[in-house]
């Protein structure tokens, strides 16, 4: 698992470095072209904030359990949209955005676990 975290971190680092370098070197860089839709930003923010604030509020509950619960709730809402029980429409980008927010909230815990195991 530690190796997987390391390689995912390296891949993410290379991706972000590549995008940052391309933007820095492009004389016609248009930042507005890369702005995500407000709905995506909202899903990432809620996934992140709900996870972080719940972890802070419930220190005796595993952060992984909290993150998993929010992923299940998000997937559940998207599934309920398919059958029309919840307003909105099912979108894969919503699931991905929720997952990104929860993953960002849990990343420090994964890194801390990795460092602790390395000692």
Structure token digits, residue 92:
């894969």
Q: Which pLDDT score, from 0 to 100, does residue 30 have?
A: 76
Query: Are residues 46 and 66 located together in one domain of the fold?
Result: yes
Domain count, the chain: 2
Taking each helix axis from N to C end, the angle separating 92-118 and 63-83, rounded to the nearest 10 degrees, works out to: 170
Q: Work out whether the CA dihedral 100, 104, 105, 108 comes out positive or negative.
A: positive
> Does 104 or 111 have the greater pLDDT score?
104
> Does 6 or 81 have the greater pLDDT score?
81
Query: Are residues 55 and 14 located together in one domain of the fold?
Result: no
Query: Are residues 46 and 30 located together in one domain of the fold?
Result: no
pTM comes to 0.72
Look at residue 119 and tell me whether its pLDDT is greater than 70. no
pLDDT digits (tens, 9 = 90+) for 40-96: 889 999 999 999 999 999 999 999 999 999 999 999 988 898 888 888 888 898 899
Query: Are residues 53 and 26 located together in one domain of the fold?
Result: no
Range of the domain at 109: 37-118
Query: Are residues 23 and 46 located together in one domain of the fold?
Result: no
Query: Are residues 66 and 93 located together in one domain of the fold?
Result: yes
Please check whether residue 81 is in contact with residue 88, taking contact to mean a CB–CB distance below 8 angstroms. yes
Query: Are residues 30 and 48 located together in one domain of the fold?
Result: no
């Amino acid at each position: 698992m530690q190796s997987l975290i390391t390689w995912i971190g390296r891949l993410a680092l290379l991706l972000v470095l590549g995008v940052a370098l391309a933007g820095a070197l492009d004389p016609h860089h248009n930042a507005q072209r890369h702005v995500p839709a407000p709905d995506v930003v909202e899903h990432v923010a809620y996934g992140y904030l709900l996870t972080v604030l719940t972890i802070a509020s419930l220190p005796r509950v595993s952060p992984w359990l909290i993150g998993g619960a929010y992923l299940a709730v998000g997937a559940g809402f998207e599934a309920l949209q398919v059958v029309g029980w919840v307003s909105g429409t099912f979108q894969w980008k919503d699931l991905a955005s929720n997952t990104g927010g929860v993953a960002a909230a849990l990343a420090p815990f994964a890194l801390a676990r990795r460092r602790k195991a390395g000692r």
